[in-house]
Amino acid sequence: MDLGIILAYAPSLLAGLVYTLQLSLITALPALLLAALLAWIRLRGRQPLLQLLARGYTDLILGLPLLVLIYVLFFILPEYGLTLSSPLVGVTALTLYYGPYLAQVLRAAFAAIPPGQFEACSALGMSRWQSFRHVALAQALPVALPPATGLFIGLLKDSALLSVVSVEEFMYAAKQAISESYAPLEIYLAVALSYWLVTLAIDAAAAAWERRLTRHRIH
C-alpha cells in the first residue's frame, strides 16, 4: 500500500469525481421530468395509445441492462446518421433508464393519496395547482423521497459504466491513473472510499430533508 500514489493522482481523481457529480445532477432534472410525464400518463392519462406507449416503454427499460442502452446510443445510432457526443450519450442513457424507475416511485406515492382529499379540495374552492401543491405534493413527497434517493445513488454509481464510451467521469480517471501507475489496489481503494463517502452524504442530506418535511405530521 503506497499512499503516495493516491496523493499523486488525487487531483485527477478529484476532477473525475466532480465531473461524475455534475453529470448526475444534470441528469436528475430530465429524468425527473420524464418520470413525472410517465407517472401522469399512467395515473391520469385518458388516451389508450399513450397508456400503451408508457407501459411498453417502462416494461422495456425495466428489462434492459443500462450497458446495452449505452451501447445502442453510442454505437448503433451513428449507423443511422445520428452521432452523439460521449457526455450526451451519458446523460441521455441515464435519463432514459432511470426515468421509468422514478416514475414507478412517483406513481405509487401519488396513488396512495385517497381520492376523497381531492374532492374535498374542490369543495373548498381550491384550484388544481393549489390542490396539487398543498395536498398531493405535501403527502407524496415524503413517501417518494427515500426510494428516489436510492435511485439517485444508483444513478451516481451507474455513471461509472459511461467510462466504456470515454466519458471522463470518476471511473475513467481511475482507469487512466491505473494505466500510468500500475497500482490498482491504491487507486480502486480511493475510488471505493470516495463513492462510499459521497453516498453517505447524499443519504444524510435526504434523511434531513425527510425529517423537515414530516416534522409537522401527526402520528
Q: What is the CATH number of the domain that holds 178?
A: 1.10.3720.10
- Full-model pTM: 0.89
Domain contains 114: yes
Vertex 78: Cα angle to 73 and 83 (nearest 5): 75
In which residue are the cell numbers 443519504 written?
Answer: 203
Cβ atoms of residues 211 and 141 within 8 Å: no
Whether 219 is covered by a domain: the verdict is: no
> What are the pLDDT digits (tens) for 21-74?
999 999 999 999 999 999 988 887 678 888 899 899 999 998 999 999 999 999
Residue 34: name the closest of 120, 92, 115, 119 by CA.
92
Residue 76 lies in a domain: yes
Count CA atoms closer than 13 A to 145's CA, side-chain side: 19
218 within domain boundaries = no
Q: Find out whether 71 and 79 touch, Cβ atoms under 8 Å.
A: no
From first CA to last CA, the distance across the chain in angstroms is 52
Give me the domain span that covers residue 97: 3-213
For position 214, what pLDDT does the model report? 77
Report the distance separating Cα 134 and Cα 68, nearest Å: 41
Give the pLDDT confidence of 140-194 residue by residue, as tens digits: 888 899 999 999 999 999 999 999 998 999 999 999 999 999 889 999 999 999 9
Domain count, the chain: 1
Phi and psi torsions of 109, nearest 5°: -65, -45
